[in-house]
């Protein structure tokens, strides 16, 4: 499964030109309330409860990049989502370490460092 990906790791992967999809498994109400993750990665939102059902279509449509990083608000659902992805044909699925809040703080630090 590999180690979790930090928000800074994710941005490094993107700058290197690696095809990465951030799979957001939060509920629709959380996405609406908090907004998207602060990253330039392609983002796909599928609530964790819908992932098993929707994954075959996402695979056949080519919606997900070869590298998938799963994220949620606190990190717990990301672990479950990444495990499900690995079971269903994405052996390299990773999780975004921390949480939505961690990613938001890290993004602010990245902007300030530029």
Confidence (pLDDT) at 39: 82
**Residue 100: pLDDT over 80:** no
Instruction: Express each pLDDT in 20-41 by its tens digit.
Output: 999 999 999 999 998 888 888 8
Q: What pTM did the predictor assign?
A: 0.86
- Read off the pLDDT of each residue in 45-74 and give the average, rounded to a whole number: 93
- Read off the pLDDT of each residue in 81-86 and give the average, rounded to a whole number: 94
**How far is the C-alpha of 114 from the C-alpha of 95, rounded, in Å?**
25
Confidence (pLDDT) at 110: 45
Mean of the per-residue pLDDT values of the chain: 86
Confidence (pLDDT) at 64: 92
**How far is the C-alpha of 84 from the C-alpha of 93, rounded, in Å?**
9
**Residue 45: pLDDT over 90:** yes
Q: What is the dihedral of CA 39, 19, 85, 44, to 10 degrees?
A: 40
């Amino acid at each position: 499964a590999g180690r979790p990906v930090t928000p800074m790791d994710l941005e490094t992967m993107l700058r290197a030109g690696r095809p990465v999809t951030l799979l957001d498994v939060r509920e629709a109400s959380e996405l609406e309330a908090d907004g998207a993750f602060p990253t330039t990665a392609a983002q796909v939102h599928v609530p964790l409860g819908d992932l098993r059902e929707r994954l075959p279509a996402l695979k056949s449509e080519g919606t997900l990049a070869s590298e998938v990083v799963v994220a949620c608000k606190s990190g717990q659902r990301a672990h479950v989502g990444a495990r499900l992805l690995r079971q269903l044909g994405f052996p390299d699925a990773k999780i975004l370490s921390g949480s939505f809040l961690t990613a938001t703080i890290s993004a602010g630090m990245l902007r300030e460092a530029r």
